[in-house]
Amino acid sequence: MVKFGPFLVALWLCGFAAAAAAAQATDKPSEPVAEKPAESPPAEQAPDTGADAVDADAIDADALDAAAVEADIVAQELSDEAKNRLDAARESVVQIRGFFEGSDSSAFHGSGFAVDDGRRIVTNYHVVAQAVLFPRQYRLEYLASDGRTGPLQVLAIDVRNDLAIVAAEDLGLPPLKLRGEIPAQGERAWSIGYPLNLGLTITEGVANGLVENSIEQRIHYTGAINGGMSGGPALDRRGHVYGVNVSVVTGRQLVGFVVPAKHIAPLLARAKGPLVESLSAEQLRQRVAAQVLAYEAEVLEAPPDEDGTQKARGFTLPTKLSRHLECSTFDERSPHVRMRLETVSCQMPSRILAQPGVYVAGLSVQHRIAQSAGLHPLQFERQVNELAAGPRRAGAPAHVAPFACRDALVSLDGFDARVSTCVRKYRLFAGLYDFDVTVVGIDDPGQALVSRLALQGVSFDIGRRTMERYLGGLQWTR
């Protein structure tokens, strides 16, 4: 089982050409490297000749020969198995490509595989999101392994699990079998897809069971997944699909994620007719927003198991505003040598992609207690103001309206504070808002709490209720 810190970013695997726009809108650094299709094929790893030389010196020739033969045999078996998996699945896997208006070069691409009657294809929501949200601008096409192409239609989406069912009526591919249960930890597994537009590819790895701290079920796959493999099948030893490739942690080694296959069946049951034909763009966006809101109602306001607060320097700080929040306390490197900074930071372990580059259902709290260590009150005041000003959440004007703010001096439990609340609306998704609340303790010229609550893409009521719990939970006993 793996437990990764919230500072690691999962890169969504679909190959968007508009990578820059997407990266701009996320608040954490994400790497658009994998999203530029085929421009720069990954460099081949140079063999580590130095280490080989040392080994050859140390081991006598006979033993070396025997070891080499052994390794050859193992490698033979491994590669054969991958070849068998790929041959069995080849005809079932398609590349899904999106085109902007009349253009015949693809705007984005991902993978998908046939299930059910062979006409329905499973992929990720984020692969087809542009086509769902902007049905008049984008069209989808499949590219089968035998070179056939044709139009695709979106039948059903599951924003929460990042799944989508698309269909092509003229297509009859051999469907892959689904496996409902989660593979055991250490079970060998394969992922298939079209990484970086390089053609059909299979990678080999190990399934590591469910990710511990994810809210939604995700299987940790230790093996190479790259941009463009999104939506491709993750296969077990028998060639059954245990999940769908979805994302990867950038900057780390082979930490990939797979959506369990058991979420496919309910979606297939819903996939009756083509969504885009039957619904207007407005309705499609509403459907996405509704799925996000349903998720939030369940997750963001889940009461914590235990107390849900944390004490630091006389402050009682609300940390677990939702059960799922994950907190860490640390001695933050202070911006000034004569000021101490203690930080409690809580974040949701996962978020939801509503639109490429736009993540919603985010909730984070950050409490920072600043203490003067020999600063003049005016100097300390300046430092506190700089902490409170801080960087605001990023956002593209195309996705969100400008913030509207309200600030006031408010009596909290045991101390006075300046509270500033900024709220903005999402352009595409009715009923979704960003909240950014900053609380600054103003009583003590030598110690101040600078606390920030941030909610992304939540309903106004959830935002307000969370604010209420947050403000009510802040307490200072001197």
Partner 1 sequence: MLIEQVDPHGHTVLRHRFAGVGTECTVGRDLDCDIVVDDEHAAARHALLTLLEDGRVHVRDLGARNVTRVDGKRVPADTGAILEQGEVIVGRTRLRVRTRHTPLGPERVFRRDFLTRHRTPLAVAGAAACMAFGAFLQWLDAPSSMLASVTKGALVALGVIALWSGGWALMTKLNRGSWNFRVQVAIASIAAALCAWGSWVAGLVAFAAQWSFVVKIGIAVVAVTALVALYGHLREATHYGRRVTLALAGAVTLVIGVIVWLATIGVDDSDVNRVALGPDVRLGARRVVPNRDIADYLTEVDDLRLAAGRERQKSLLNAPLADADD
The CB-of-405 to partner 1 minimum distance in angstroms stands at: 6
d(CA 445, CA 377): 5
Binding piece for partner 1, criterion CB under 8 A, among 238-246, 309-317, 332-340, 355-363: 332-340
Count the site residues for partner 1 by CB under 8 A: 67
Question: Residue 395 interacts with partner 1 (CB under 8 A)?
Answer: yes
Which of the residues 459 through 478 are near partner 1 (CB under 8 A)?
460, 464, 467-468, 471-472
Phi, psi angle pair for 359, to nearest 5°? -105, 135
Give 167 or 375: the residue with its C-beta nearer to partner 1: 375
Which of the residues 102 through 121 are near partner 1 (CB under 8 A)?
none
CB–CB of 226/106 below 8 Å?
no
Give 365 or 419: the residue with its C-beta nearer to partner 1: 419
CA distance readout (Å), 101 to 125, 130, 166: 20, 12, 19
Question: Residue 53 interacts with partner 1 (CB under 8 A)?
Answer: no
Give 150 or 445: the residue with its C-beta nearer to partner 1: 445
Question: Residue 340 interacts with partner 1 (CB under 8 A)?
Answer: no
Give 78 or 398: the residue with its C-beta nearer to partner 1: 398
Which of the residues 137 through 176 are near partner 1 (CB under 8 A)?
none
The CB-of-267 to partner 1 minimum distance in angstroms stands at: 25
CB–CB of 276/288 below 8 Å?
no
Question: Residue 308 interacts with partner 1 (CB under 8 A)?
Answer: no
The CB-of-450 to partner 1 minimum distance in angstroms stands at: 9
Residues β-bridged to residue 110: 96
Question: Residue 381 interacts with partner 1 (CB under 8 A)?
Answer: yes
> What tokens appear for 56 in the block?
């050859």
Question: Residue 20 interacts with partner 1 (CB under 8 A)?
Answer: no
Give 55 or 443: the residue with its C-beta nearer to partner 1: 443
d(CA 181, CA 147): 33
The CB-of-411 to partner 1 minimum distance in angstroms stands at: 4
Question: Residue 298 interacts with partner 1 (CB under 8 A)?
Answer: no
Give 240 or 392: the residue with its C-beta nearer to partner 1: 392
Which of the residues 399 through 458 are near partner 1 (CB under 8 A)?
400-412, 416, 418-431, 433, 438, 440, 442-445, 448
Which of the residues 256 through 295 are near partner 1 (CB under 8 A)?
282, 285
The CB-of-192 to partner 1 minimum distance in angstroms stands at: 37
- x/- track of binding to partner 1 for residues 63-102 (CB under 8 A): ----------------------------------------
Phi, psi angle pair for 299, to nearest 5°? -100, -45
Selected binder of partner 1 within 67, 78, 398, 477 (CB under 8 A): 398
Counting other chains too, the contacts that 266-272 makes at CB distance below 8 Å and 24 or more residues apart are 267/122, 267/156, 267/158, 267/161, 267/163, 267/164, 267/165, 268/115, 268/116, 268/120, 268/156, 268/165, 270/155, 270/156, 270/165, 271/120, 271/155, 271/156, 271/165, 271/167, 272/155, 272/156
d(CA 463, CA 478): 30
The CB-of-350 to partner 1 minimum distance in angstroms stands at: 24
The CB-of-348 to partner 1 minimum distance in angstroms stands at: 21
Question: Residue 337 interacts with partner 1 (CB under 8 A)?
Answer: yes
Question: Residue 184 interacts with partner 1 (CB under 8 A)?
Answer: no
Interface contacts to partner 1, rule CB under 8 A: 282, 285, 336-338, 375-385, 388-389, 392-398, 400-412, 416, 418-431, 433, 438, 440, 442-445, 448, 460, 464, 467-468, 471-472
